[in-house]
Amino acid sequence: MAKKITAIRKYRPEIKREQTRQTPQLVEDIAQRTGLNEGEIRFVVYELRDAILMAHRHGQAVKIEGLGTFTPTIRMDGYFDILFRPESDMLRQLNDTTKFYAKILNKSAIGKSADDLAMLWNSEHPDDPIEGE
């Protein structure tokens, strides 16, 4: 018998991700848009990183207008981590469907519940139904 998570993984909506955009590409993009040279942009990126690290080492979150908040956290095993919470305007812009160009896989599943996906699994896999359905 299959587990419900199997159906969710197979049928849930998902963004088809392209290759990760690396620092050199971002630096070039910013240079073209701003007129700053690539060396200046790289310098600012590393300085921003160092400023965030310094604040985190002192237990401070860092809020960057237009981007979001970076908050230091600690795991149960003592390992430090960083939580990023994007600013609401950034999320609003991301959710503007007229400006989202990536492909969405299983788009027809948007708005469906886990139970709906389990029923779809069961209809397509009658020989391996979801446990407890």
Report pLDDT for 80.
Answer: 97
Report pLDDT for 55.
Answer: 98
Which of 17, 41, 40 has its CA nearest to residue 102?
A: 17
10 and 121 Cβ atoms separated by less than 8 Å? yes
For 52-104, how does the pLDDT look when each residue is reduced to its tens digit (9 = 90+)?
Answer: 999 999 999 999 999 999 999 999 999 999 999 999 999 999 999 999 999 99
Q: Which residues pair with 2 in a beta bridge?
A: 130
Q: Residue 133 — very low, low, confident or very high, per pLDDT cuts 50/70/90?
A: low
For 58-72, how does the pLDDT look when each residue is reduced to its tens digit (9 = 90+)?
Answer: 999 999 999 999 999
Q: What is the CA radius of gyration of the chain?
A: 21
For 17-45, how does the pLDDT look when each residue is reduced to its tens digit (9 = 90+)?
Answer: 999 999 999 999 999 999 999 999 999 99
Pairing of strands 80-86, 68-74: antiparallel
User: How crowded is residue 25: how many other Cβ atoms within 10 Å of its Cβ?
Assistant: 11
- Tell me the whole-structure pTM to 2 decimals: 0.77
